[in-house]
Chains A and B, each alone.
Chain A
Amino acid sequence: MTALRHHLGVAGVIAAKDLRAELRGRQAVTSTLFLAAVTMLIFGFALGPDQERLAAAGPGLLWLAVILSGMAALGRLHHLETEDGAFELLGLYPISRTGIYLGKALGGLAAMLALGVLVLPLTVILFAVDLATAGPALALVIVLGAVGFAAVGTLYAGLTVRLRAREVLLPLLLLPVVAPLLLASVSATAVLLAGDPFAELMGWLQLLMGYDLAMLLAGGLTYGLALEE
């Protein structure tokens, strides 16, 4: 019990630090919000102007924009730690590694959710997708997708942050691993928009939950190893 409290305590402090830094103008995540918006615009140019085609591609484009800009956000959150050797110092503290991981992942989750909140209305406006038909269950899909992406993305950002080629390597490593997450969240979103005629939603949600759990577990166990080396 005290161990759990220690993990969560550390996680809270780390996440609060990232949030404070962001609010004080470190601009790690804020700039990626604009990246997401521009990505949506570019998708329109690539696939438009046929409204029907854009609406059909809507769920996929929504998640691609979240994932592409989210990758940049998670990378930035870690890159800031390398300034003045902050990451090395973090590794020297006698605190829970799992806690550090959870804290960074929590910060990443906040960034992912912010991206989701921005991209959702953009999907409605730009691609004429009627998200109202999806109902409140869409929020659950977004949260589950964001948790999984933050979980595995934080781990991979930690692994690649000290590499010179991190801008290339993070997407290269992360995109194949999030393939099932992308598949499940896009499918769940599409199913919700269609009114879930074949009761498939539950299966996708379960897949997302299983993915989230597996990646959180893997991250909690291995993130510290990358920190200590």
Chain B
Amino acid sequence: MAVRVLGMGAIVAVAAATLFSLFVVPADLNQGEPQRIMYIHVATAWLAYLSFGVTALASVWWLIRRDFRADAIALAGAEVGVLFTASTIWAGMMWGRPVWGTFWDWGDPRLTTTAVMLAMYVGYLLIRRLTDEPARRATRAAVLGVIGAINIPIVHFSVIWWRGLHQGPTFGSPENVLNPPAPGQFVAALLLMLGAFSLAWLWLVINRYRLARLESATEDAVRRGQLAGLAPAGESSP
């Protein structure tokens, strides 16, 4: 029930934040209308990193305690994280094309890091799908979850350095070019969107966690032969 209320709240909040950032806040004078994409972009980016942080912590929890709830949390974090990472990159490209003049900037450490991150966690989801035995799947995934988290700052750092070598086109960072310079409304829109998306994120993670628990209960039942008819195609029922 509480989760359902959370879901309703998320819908209302996202709708309100969208209306606010589209119609109430003025467009940035330098970047024009595309600047409004930034509200969504920043919110999804922040939550994507949070998701993989959740996955990393849950992975460590699994490796220490072998608790399947931890594995379900790790899965929920990774799957929602991939969704938010993909949205971040998509929104970033849609913003970058009109403002930077290009979809992709190899010298931008945030963009490059996010792309590598997306690739890493798509792999994480794939190895889960390809491993049938639950404990083995959880362990393999957990190792990837931990390495991924270690690797993200290294990738970010290395791209910052790399950019120093390959001097790319110089862009002002979006924080500096917001105009008018006293951006109370911009900040309000950003925070509102972040709050709304956080609610939606929480709702997605909780529901994905519940689904993962149900899936693993079904898996157990199939393994014990109680639900032989539900055995997925291609696997012989016990």
Contact = CB atoms under 8 A, between A and B. Distances in A.
Interface of A: 152, 155, 159-160, 163-165, 169, 172-173, 175-177, 179-180, 183-184, 187, 190-191, 200, 203-204, 207, 210-211, 214-215, 218, 222, 225-226, 229
A177 B147 contact: yes
Residues of B in contact with A, size category:
20 to 34
Interface of B: 63, 116-117, 119-120, 122-123, 126-127, 130-131, 133, 135-136, 139-140, 142-144, 146-148, 150-151, 154-155, 157-159, 161-162, 164-165
A173 B123 contact: yes
Nearest to B154: A180
A152 B131 contact: no
Contacts of B130: 163-165, 169
Nearest to A184: B158
Given A169-B127, A173-B144, A187-B165, A225 B158 contact: no
Interface centre among B117, B131, B146, B147, by most chain A C-beta atoms within 10 angstroms, is: B147
A227 to B, nearest CB: 10
Interface centre among A173, A204, A210, by most chain B C-beta atoms within 10 angstroms, is: A173
Interface centre among A175, A203, A222, by most chain B C-beta atoms within 10 angstroms, is: A222
**Interface secondary structure of A, over-half rule:** helix
Nearest to A210: B154
A114 B162 CA distance: 28
Nearest to A191: B165
21 contacts: A155-B143, A159-B127, A159-B143, A164-B130, A169-B123, A172-B119, A172-B122, A176-B116, A177-B120, A179-B116, A180-B154, A180-B155, A180-B158, A191-B165, A200-B165, A203-B161, A210-B154, A215-B147, A225-B142, A229-B136, A229-B139
Given A155-B147, A191-B165, 19 more contacts: A159-B127, A159-B143, A159-B144, A160-B127, A164-B130, A169-B123, A172-B119, A173-B127, A173-B144, A176-B120, A177-B148, A179-B116, A179-B158, A187-B162, A200-B165, A207-B158, A211-B154, A225-B139, A229-B133
Contacts of A165: 130
A177 B155 CA distance: 8
A222 B63 contact: yes
A214 B150 contact: yes
Interface centre among A152, A179, A218, by most chain B C-beta atoms within 10 angstroms, is: A179
B55 to A, nearest CB: 15
